[in-house]
Amino acid sequence: MSEEFKKYPMMTAKSLRSRRERPRRVKMLTRDFIEGLRNPPYYLTQCSKLMVWGAIDSLYNPHYGYFSTQATIFSPGEPFNFNDLSDEPAFHRALGDRYTTFEDNLDAIAYDPTRQLWHTPTSLFRPYYGEAVARYLVTNYKLTQYPYHDLIIYEMGAGNGELMQNVLDYIQVYHPDIYERTRYKVIEISSSLAELQRKASQNYPGKVEIVNQSIFSWSSYTPQPCFFLALEVFDNFPHDSVRYHPNSNAPLQGHVLIDSSGDFYEFYLPNLDPLASSYLQTRAQVCSHGSYSSTLIPPLRKRIAQLLTPFAPNLTEAEYIPTKLLQFFNILADYFPAHKLLAADFHSLPDTIAGTNAPVVQTRYERKTICVSTPFVQQGFFDILFPTPFDQVSAIYSAVTGKLTRVLSHEEYLSRWAYVEDTQTRNGENPLLSWYRNASVLTTI
């Protein structure tokens, strides 16, 4: 296999985008493989999303990637009347009933046992979640930009456009003077979702622009102040896998080889590419050692381990580092210098594969979620979701952009900006606050 590794060409997610079939006889970084996973189903579960840098081809390839060919966004229909529900379990039951009806209607058109279905807090708590985001935007716009600048909003990965509609509806009704100065721009990599967003934007003539491209190919300079929304996006950014030498703690970067039969083989090499190297160097400079040292072995422990376990593995377990997120921060700094970021995502996930900051890899079969233990799965049939280490990410964001941040729990953020009485059940429970307890919100101060 080492000879095949030398012989097979090195590919990237970009070089694979034109391919209509899954590649064979190639090798690539783990993050590039993950990017391509978003084609046909891969593996999914009740975990939510997941990825690794090399797996990007699996997620985003336009011909066989998960997001391009498999993912369907659940729409619950009419908003839930939380005030009429007895308690949170009643909301669970009502949501389950709507899921069943939604899939029954899809199956009546075309039965699909491998349908990949997912939802967002925007859709579950419509319009209240989107209105909370709108209040945050309007308040901060008035404090820092009004009346000298227009309200410019960028949203990355807008799904079916529900957040865009909720935000614009709120501003139009409650702040018509600001609505006249509002421009909403969506950056969407998926052509099918971009088309849904265009249809949703027809009710807002002259207000919405849909840009169907990846943020990572962005080249347009925006000097004006703007808000940049990234809600449940970081978890699907490709990650690199890194393992460390137990004696020197030197990092090795993960690669995957796909042989002539389509089987996957993982390799780690000591030569890091510039993006992985930059992430590790930046983290070492701006983060406290304790926030990321779980995979590194202290010197004393090394010596004891060598004496007691001479045949132990020659590398540490894998660590998954958000290298693509660093690239995104660089794009914000270079092309959106006056931006304010609003990002929300999972800081922890259940049922992850082995490793530090490891993802959930999952698929769905006959309406059941199935988790697997490796990111190297058939491209397009699996969702890959990574937790976001907000302590590291906020420090790295500040180092790259020169901006200060605030990180709140999902509940803290919504308690400040939502009208929580709208989502309270009769017994006082509040699903808007209790759901997504494993999520955090990062904002630019």
- DSSP letters spanning 333-357: HHH-TTEEEEEEEES--SSPPSSBT
In this predicted model, what pLDDT tens digit does every residue of 9-27 receive, in sequence order? 999 888 888 777 888 999 9
Largest CA distance in the chain: 72
Residue 62 pLDDT: 52
Mean pLDDT of 32-47: 51
Task: Tell me the average pLDDT across 200-227.
Answer: 97
Residue 175 has a CB neighbour count (10 Å cut-off) of 19
Percent of the chain with pLDDT over 90: 74
DSSP output for 159-212 = TTSHHHHHHHHHHHHH-HHHHTTEEEEEE-S-HHHHHHHHHHGGGSTTTEEEE-
Residue 35: the pLDDT is 83
- Residue 295's pLDDT is 64
Q: Is the dihedral of CA 142, 148, 150, 156 positive or negative?
A: negative
Contact between 166 and 184 (Cβ < 8 Å): no
Where does the pLDDT of residue 72 fall: very low under 50, low under 70, confident under 90, or very high at 90 and above? confident
- Position 47 scores a pLDDT of 32
Question: How many other β-carbons are positioned within 10 Å of the β-carbon of residue 159?
Answer: 25
φ, ψ dihedrals at 315, nearest 5°? -140, 155
pLDDT for res 247: 86
Give residue 333's pLDDT: 98
In this prediction, residue 289 has a pLDDT band, given cuts at 50, 70 and 90, of low
> Over 50: is that where the pLDDT of 309 sits?
no
Residues 275/323, Cβ–Cβ less than 8 Å: yes
Least confident of 4-18, 109-123, 162-176, 353-367: 4-18
* Alpha-carbon span 55 to 376, nearest angstrom: 7
The confidence score (pLDDT) of residue 73 equals 86
Q: Return the pLDDT at 168.
A: 98
Q: For residue 270, how many other CB atoms are within 10 A of its CB?
A: 10
- Evaluate if residue 59 carries a pLDDT over 80: no
Point out the least confidently predicted range of 6-10, 151-155, 370-374, 385-389: 6-10
The set of residues, in sequence order, having a beta carbon less than 8 Å from that of 101 and lying 6+ positions away, is: none
Please give the pLDDT value at position 380: 76
Going by pLDDT thresholds of 50, 70 and 90, the confidence category of residue 107 is very high
- CA–CA separation, 437 vs 345, rounded Å? 11
CB count within 10 Å of CB 330 equals 15
Which tokens hold the place of 171? 């501003």
Spatial separation of the C-alpha atoms in residues 7 and 308, rounded to whole Å: 39
Those residues with Cβ within 8 angstroms of residue 8's Cβ, 6 or more apart along the chain or in another chain: 25, 26, 27, 257
pLDDT at position 328 is: 98
What pLDDT is recorded for position 26? 93
The CA distance from 200 to 64, in Å, is 26
Specify the higher pLDDT residue, 4 or 322.
322
**Residue 15 has what DSSP assignment?**
H
If residue 329 lies in a helix (H) or strand (E), which one and from where to where? helix 323-335
Grade residue 37 by pLDDT with cuts at 50, 70 and 90.
Answer: low
> What is the phi/psi pair of residue 92, to 5°?
-55, -45
3-state secondary structure of 287: coil
The region of weakest confidence among 129-133, 261-265, 412-416 is 261-265
pLDDT recorded at residue 15: 83
- DSSP H/E element including 251: strand 251-258
pLDDT, average across residues 315-323: 96
DSSP 3-state assignment of 322?
A: coil
For residue 373, give the amino acid letter: S
Strand 226-231 versus strand 339-346 pairing type: parallel
Report which secondary-structure segment, H or E, holds 227.
strand 226-231
Q: What is the pLDDT of residues 168-190, one digit of tens each?
A: 999 999 999 999 999 999 999 99
Q: Which residues of 106-122 are buried (b: 16+ CB within 10 A; e: fewer)?
A: eeeeeebeebbbbbbbb
Q: Return d(Cα 102, Cα 8) in angstroms, integer.
A: 45
- Model confidence at 195: pLDDT above 60: yes
Q: For residues 445 and 441, what is the distance between their CA atoms, to the nearest angstrom?
A: 12
Strand partners, 365: 368
Q: Which helix (H) or strand (E) holds 397?
A: helix 390-401
Q: How many angstroms separate the CA atoms of 360 and 46, rounded?
A: 9
CA distance 362 to 359: 10
Q: Could you tell me the CA-to-CA distances from 339 to 33, 219, 362 in Å, in that order?
A: 31, 16, 34
Closest CA to 242 of 14, 31, 1: 31
* Contact yes or no for 265/273 (Cβ under 8 A): no
Residue-wise pLDDT tens digits, 135-149: 999 999 999 999 999
**Residue type at position 285:** Q
Helix, strand and coil content of the chain, in percent to the nearest 5, comes to 40, 25, 40
